[in-house]
Copies of this chain bind each other. A is one copy, B any other.
Amino acid sequence: MTGTQIDHLIQLLAKLPGLGPRSARRAALHLINRKESLLRPLAEAMAQAADTVAPCEICGNLDSVQPCAICRDPRRESSIICVVESVADLWALERSAVFRGRYHILGGTLSALDGIGPEDLNVGALIARASEAVVGEVILATNATVDGQTTAHFLAEKLAGCEVQVSGLAHGVPVGGELDYLDDGTLATALSARRPV
């Protein structure tokens, strides 16, 4: 019915989270009607991101530089590592602007149902980092879900051998909630009031 190239564009846009077939059609028209101001810049930004963005080899954060901007920032404390499930959670914590240490991205949680074990997560590198003399504290900031808390307990046991204090996020994180959906104030409170586990 429509041009095959437009159809192709709509089909790909419909694969984005939050866009269905109808909103993908709207988005395609919106883009084509704004060729120079939006369509071309977005195509270039995507091609550039595909070429340059990769997981940081230290922490797993996504960035176009290696190591990532947070790992290479000398103003950030190297003594604290905050362990999060995903890059989205790192972004949520950065928006709260309270934490000034480093991060470690697990890449998920342990999950018996989905068959995800410790070997599927970025755990070995975390233990190695926590064993470095400069690191004094590891904050386990996994989500307050069953899988997230199971993972935190597993990591706390693993980290018992390292000479670090292990802490978790404090009150403020609603049970069953996910970090990426919290408001910045709640996240800031939870970070400031963190407690040993």
The reply to whether B12 and A63 form a contact with Cβ atoms under 8 Å apart is: no
A89 CA / B91 CA spacing, docked (Å): 40
Among B9, B18, B26, B50, contact of A27 (Cβ-Cβ < 8 Å): B18
Residues of B close to A35: CB separation below 8 A: 50
Contact with B along A40-60 (1 / 0, CB 8 A): 111111111110110000000
- CB < 8 Å neighbour of A94 from B1, B17, B48, B87: B1
A5: which B residues are within 8 A, CB to CB? Answer: 45, 48-49, 52-53, 64
User: Quick one: which of A145-191 are within 8 Å of B by CB?
Assistant: 180
- Residue among A15, A16, A65 facing the most chain B CB atoms (10 A cut-off): A16
A12-B88 in contact (CB<8A)? no
CA of A68 to CA of B86 in the docked complex: distance in angstroms? Answer: 45
| Alpha-carbon separation in the docked complex, A49 to B7 (Å) | 10
By beta carbon, the residue of chain B nearest A88 is B29
> Which B residue's beta carbon lies closest to that of A55?
B32
Q: Is A100 an interface residue (CB 8 A)?
A: no
Is the CB–CB distance between B64 and A32 below 8 Å?
no
Q: Is the CB of A26 within 8 A of B31?
A: no
14 pairs, CB–CB < 8 Å, chain A vs chain B: A2-B62, A2-B91, A3-B65, A6-B53, A6-B64, A9-B49, A12-B45, A17-B23, A18-B18, A18-B23, A25-B91, A29-B86, A29-B87, A39-B50
